[in-house]
Amino acid sequence: MKRGTGRSGSSAAPNSVDVARLAGVSQKTVSRVFNEEPYVSAEARRRVLEAADQLGYRRNNAARALASGRTRSIGVITLGTALYGPASLLMGVERVVRDTGYALRVVNTMEGDPAGLAGAVDSLLDQGVDGIVISEPIDEPGGEAGPLRVDVPVLVIGAPPPPLTSPALLTAGGGADLMAGAATEHLLGLGHVTVHHLAGPQRWFAAQDRLEGWRTTLISHGRDVPAVVEGDWSAASGYAAGREFAQDPEVTAVFAANDDMAIGLVRALTEAGRRVPDDVSVVGFDDIPVAAYVTPPLTTVRQPFDAVAHEGLKRLVHAIENPDTDPLPASAPPVDLVVRASTAPPRPTGTGR
């Protein structure tokens, strides 16, 4: 990377004095521009930014933290898992945090540790973070006896807020029930009498929400609600469920709570002689990269990981930097059903294969 040398030709990193000199403004004006303070004319702001770009100047966030009482860092608590959903959400959060100019500090928790959240919060607070993102998708019973005390704003993604007190408690990433409802509506709209459900493990909030969206949609249409088959998010559990579904000739449509289980399900149905979608239509959830390339290409619900991360972090940063103002309003995440070749109207009764 080429570094500006300033007017003196020195190889030392340029500072705000160099920027002020080149822009023809005071050092205070440079500070106001980079702190996004008011009372700076558009012309002065333009000259400062152009001078900073020419010199290769970057503001010193460490010094700024000392002056403002902030570290300009955001902590993220996430489940230690390689599953597509949590991992994709973490990557989305990482991209957005980097774009905001904050540093990112990540603490992983492990499934089955009810005290993991409290320890993770304490670790991040000890590091002096300005805000915390909690992306804990599992309901861990037997946690802390009382609410956690957190003295920085907190954003909870994709789960009910845990028992804690905070200057600002924000949520983002809801709406999985609406997305599951859209998947179920799609199958009913094709003419299927009802829709079976291959659920995720019910300790996961996401699995609970998807099951609820499926159930509510069937009830609202006056359809029978079949017994739920529960998997563990893996293709292997989807395959096992598919062997079970294949034995029931009344099964013509299945909504699976994630794409991996849907892919295993399709494999088992095909091996049992139940063609997809001729005999059984299948819808997944997530739109993992391989979903478009399996046979048949999988109809699925695309999760808006980047959109959820962008909106949630925007609201969190606003709460950090404007503690005396009302929080920014939340918006519902988009529902994006990607229709491919794994769904079709049911075969007319009595026809041959």
Q: Residue 295: pLDDT above 90? A: yes
Q: What angle do CA 169, 212, 309 make, to 5 degrees?
A: 40
Task: Compare 199 and 147 and report the one with higher pLDDT.
Answer: 199
Q: What's the pTM?
A: 0.78
Per residue in 100-121, pLDDT (tens digit) is 889 999 999 887 676 688 889 9
Q: What is the mean pLDDT of residues 313-337?
A: 92
Three-state secondary structure call for residue 164: strand
Residue 331: its pLDDT value, please?
Answer: 87
**Closest of 114, 139, 113, 135 to residue 124, by C-alpha:** 135
Residue 9: its pLDDT value, please?
Answer: 42
Q: Residue 30: pLDDT above 50? A: yes
Residue 203: its pLDDT value, please?
Answer: 93
**Closest of 139, 81, 84 to residue 303, by C-alpha:** 84
ω into 296 cis (within 30 of 0): yes
pLDDT-based confidence at 146, cuts 50/70/90?
low
Per residue in 45-58, pLDDT (tens digit) is 899 889 988 887 76
**Closest of 70, 33, 37 to residue 323, by C-alpha:** 70
Query: How many angstroms separate the CA atoms of 162 and 145, rounded?
Result: 12
**Closest of 173, 258, 253, 245 to residue 210, by C-alpha:** 258
Residue 31: its pLDDT value, please?
Answer: 78
Q: Residue 66: pLDDT above 50? A: no
Query: How many angstroms separate the CA atoms of 45 and 25, rounded?
Result: 10
pLDDT-based confidence at 7, cuts 50/70/90?
very low
Residue 12: its pLDDT value, please?
Answer: 61
Residue 305: its pLDDT value, please?
Answer: 92
Name, of 43-57, 155-169, 297-311, the range with top average pLDDT. 297-311
Rg (CA), the chain: 26
Q: Are 195 and 220 in contact (CB under 8 A)?
A: no
The burial class, CB within 10 Å (0-12 / 13-18 / 19+), for 219 is exposed
Q: Are 266 and 282 in contact (CB under 8 A)?
A: yes
pLDDT-based confidence at 69, cuts 50/70/90?
low
Taking the CA atoms of residue 96, residue 101, residue 103 and residue 109 in that order, the dihedral angle to the nearest 10 degrees is: -20
Q: What is the mean pLDDT of residues 236-261?
A: 98
Residue 70: its pLDDT value, please?
Answer: 67
Q: Residue 191: pLDDT above 70? A: yes
Q: What is the mean pLDDT of residues 27-53?
A: 83
Residue 159: its pLDDT value, please?
Answer: 87
Query: How many angstroms separate the CA atoms of 341 and 312, rounded?
Result: 34
Q: Residue 10: pLDDT above 60? A: no
**Closest of 251, 321, 351 to residue 70, by C-alpha:** 321
Query: How many angstroms separate the CA atoms of 318 and 313, rounded?
Result: 8
Question: Which residue is associated with the tokens 């205070």?
Answer: 28
Q: Chain-wide mean pLDDT for the chain?
A: 88
Task: Compare 26 and 248 and report the one with higher pLDDT.
Answer: 248
Q: What is the mean pLDDT of residues 295-307?
A: 96
Question: For residue 166, how far is the Cα from the chain centroid?
Answer: 21
Query: How many angstroms separate the CA atoms of 23 and 50, rounded?
Result: 8
Question: Which residue is associated with the tokens 């909106």?
Answer: 311
Query: How many angstroms separate the CA atoms of 154 and 321, rounded?
Result: 13
Q: Are 269 and 245 in contact (CB under 8 A)?
A: yes
Altogether, the residues listed in the chain come to a count of 353
Task: Compare 266 and 45 and report the one with higher pLDDT.
Answer: 266
Query: How many angstroms separate the CA atoms of 77 and 108, rounded?
Result: 6
